[in-house]
Each structure stands twice: as structure tokens, then as C-alpha cells.
Amino acid sequence: MTDLDLTVGETGPGTVETLSGDHVAALLGVPGVVRLTPVAGGRWRVSGNGKVGLVRLRTPSGAAIRLHLRPKITVRDLLFLLCYAPTDPWLPEPVTAAGADDLLPALADLFARTARRTLEAGVLHGYRTVEEDLPLVRGRIRAADQLRRVGLPLPVAVRYDDHTADIAENRVLLGALLLAAGLPGVHDPTRRALRHLCGHLTGVRPPRPGEAPPLWTSNRLNSRYVPALRLAELILSGQSVQPTGPESARVDGFLLDMPAVYERFVESALGAALARHRVRCAAQERHHRLDEAGRVGFRPDLVLYRAGRPVSVVDAKYVFLRTAAPHVEHLYQLLGYCTALGLSHGHLVYAASRHGPSDHVIRRTGITVTAHALDLGRPPATLLADVATLADRMAAGAVSPGTVEQ
């Protein structure tokens, strides 16, 4: 059985390949990564499905498949979307400096430099509560556990706070360093740098394979860790390629879901821009209900609040809008959101369009849905200026809700 090397864009017509039954089974075993369509001559069209990254599969018969999913925007622009945060003043420097053409080498290089900047300033320590049995008293005696040992004074059941580097922040960093060093396509100098940085975290336990990364909370003490931790969590989250086919089919790799990347960028950048207008953005709220009985929930990308009251709703669409009018199903979606929230105005934010902002008044409702677009191929400063202009438009139309006219 021959090996297979495929390069496919995240969107578009894809490529036509001659695939064996084993190849098809292995690709179908990682659902949602690519779309397979049979074509004439017993061949298959392999097209992207909104994912970018690299996946390596080995079929039950031993054939290797290397699937490279390329983003439609440049890697440099993608890194900007991934790493954008209004509170990171150092961000433009490392993103602009990333010169690799492929996503994984660029991301690994960016993470190595960010982690080095973080760890060379000193490893963060914190207090961790430890319970153990010792031949001496340290901290506080666990009285209930000690009393169960009738006639046995030693060891002593104690509880104490240990000042250690083995804290959640360092465990997340170490887990991502180890994972990034093993990613396919990472350049040898970057791989050596990642492994060298692991040596700074002596005594830290990395997360076990399959274990969820430890939870951490941003605060004054760990603020210098936050950029590296955000990249670390991105790397750890991108490792999950879950096969559903035969147990003998082995899979590894790194994948990013581009619609989710775009939604997170819009939430962060638009939220920061609207805050200057005293409009608060709440992302992915789960408590909203569509029906009176409260049985049908919905989760908008962003609900805009002014003085504690909802004033508008936004949904980000990682779609190129080719016509002047939004997709009908998108208008239905915003109509439902606005109706349930009692709003007269909602917004769709597409990833690109040939047309400028357009208002669409829904008949017999008084509800207006405005379609906007952000060109992700523009330079970061220009893209953020476009987001600020979008926020100005939204804030100008964000009025306190009243009863929607019927």
C-alpha cells in the first residue's frame, strides 16, 4: 500500500485524487476534517471543511497519509487572529516577526519565543495545599484522619501549603512545550529551543495524555504569563484529532477550526472597540430561550448591553458574502434572536464581501438586520481600524429596546 501526501485548501474545490479503500476509510475516520466526493473514473474529490493544520494518519494496512490543510489567508494574518488581545502591547512584534510559510512551524516558533521571554524572567511559583503522612508535624494536623489511627502516633496526617513551581500555569506551559516539540514540520532549531525551555520547569508535572489542561485564572501575579498561556492552550486544544474508525487506524496532528478562530477574534476585537462607547459585549451566553416555555435555548455570538439592558445582537459568519443580500438562513437566525430578545436591530459580520454594509428590514416586524464584512487579508492595523468603524456604526444604532412593532 503506497503512502499519500495531500495538500488541500480550507475552502474551495479541492483536489481530485486516486484513493484506495483504505485511504477513504482512514479519511472518513476523522469526521469533519475534509469532504470526500466520488468523481468519474473511480477517483475522489478531497476538499477542505473549514479546518487548517496538519494531520498524519496510518491506515490498518500500514499506509501513511499526510494531510496538509492550508488557510486561505496568510499564516502571518492567521497568527494575528489567533493571538489578538487588546491587553497585549507586545503582540505585534512576535506576530510580524513570524516568517514561516506553514502554520505549524510558525506557531511553534512564536510559542518558543514567547515562552522564552516569559520563563527567562523567572519561573512563577505559588502555594499548593498538600495532604500527606509524615514522621513529623508540618503545617496542621488532620485531626479526623489522625484519630482513626488508634495507638499509632506516627506517621502524622498533616496538611500544609507548599511553595512550589508545580502550579497550573507551569503545568499548562510544560504540556504545550512538550507537545509543540513533537508536532510534525517543526524546524529543528525551534524543536531544540522548545525542549531546552522544558528544563526551566524542573519539578513540574505535565498533564497526562487525554487529561484536560489544568485551570488557571488571570491575576496580577501571573499577568506576564498570560500571552504564553494563551498560546499554550491553543496548542493543547488543537491536538485533539479524534478518529471514529477502526481502532488500529492511528491519527495525530494539529487542527484549527477557522470559523471558531474568526468568532473569537470578532468577540475580542469588537468587544474592546464597543467598550469605548460604554457598550458591553457578552459572548456565547447560554441562558437565552426562544420559546415561552423555555425549552428551546439559543446562544448568540454577542449580545450588546447598555446600562444593563440588551440593545443589539451580533453573529459572526466565517463566510465570503458574494451577493448584496445575506443568506436567507442567516436572516432567519437574526430574526429569531431579535424577536426573542425584544430588539429592533441585529448585525451579521461576514469574513469578506464585495459589497459595503447593507440594511435589510424584515417585513411586518420592524426588525432590521445589517450585514457587514471584515477583510481578514488587510494589515492588522487596518483591520482593527475597520473593527473600530464597525463598532461606531453598531453603537450609533444601539438604542434601548422597546416593544417590537407587529
Domains in the chain with CATH codes? 4-72+248-254 (no CATH), 75-124+166-237 (no CATH), 126-164 (no CATH), 276-397 (3.40.1350)
Q: What is the pLDDT of residue 238?
A: 66
pLDDT at 249: 43
Task: Give residue 31's pLDDT.
Answer: 81
What pLDDT is stored for residue 131 in this prediction?
75
* Amino acid present at 50: G
pLDDT of residue 317: 95
Q: What letters, b where the CB count within 10 A reaches 16 and e where it falls short, cover 154-185?
A: eebbbeeeeeebbbbbbbbbbbbbebbbebbb
pLDDT at 246: 47
What cell does 187 get? 524546524
Give the whole-angstrom CA distance, residue 142 versus residue 156.
8
- What is d(CA 15, CA 13) in angstroms, rounded to the nearest whole number? 7
Closest CA to 323 of 369, 358, 361: 358
pLDDT, residue 152, reads 62
User: 47 with 32: CB under 8 angstroms?
Assistant: no
The alpha-carbon radius of gyration of the chain (Å, integer) is 26
Q: What angle is formed at CA 213 by the lines to CA 211 and CA 216, rounded to 5 degrees?
A: 150
CB 366 within 8 A of CB 404: yes
β 43-48/34-39 pair status: antiparallel
pLDDT of residue 207: 86
Please report the pLDDT score of residue 189 as a whole number: 93
Go through 217-228 and write b for each residue having 16 or more CB atoms within 10 A of its CB, e for each that does not: eeeeebeebbbb
- Rounded Cα distance between 271 and 311, Å, is 14
Q: What pLDDT is attached to residue 150?
A: 66
Residue by residue, pLDDT tens for the chain (406 residues) are: 678 889 999 988 889 999 888 888 888 888 888 999 999 888 999 999 999 988 888 887 888 888 899 998 888 888 888 888 776 544 444 444 344 457 888 888 889 998 999 999 999 998 777 777 766 676 677 777 766 676 667 777 777 676 789 899 999 999 999 999 988 778 899 999 999 999 999 989 988 877 788 899 888 889 899 889 988 988 887 655 544 454 444 456 788 889 999 999 999 999 999 999 999 999 999 999 999 999 999 999 999 999 999 999 999 999 988 888 899 999 999 999 999 999 999 999 999 888 888 999 999 999 999 999 999 989 888 999 999 999 999 998 876 655 443 3
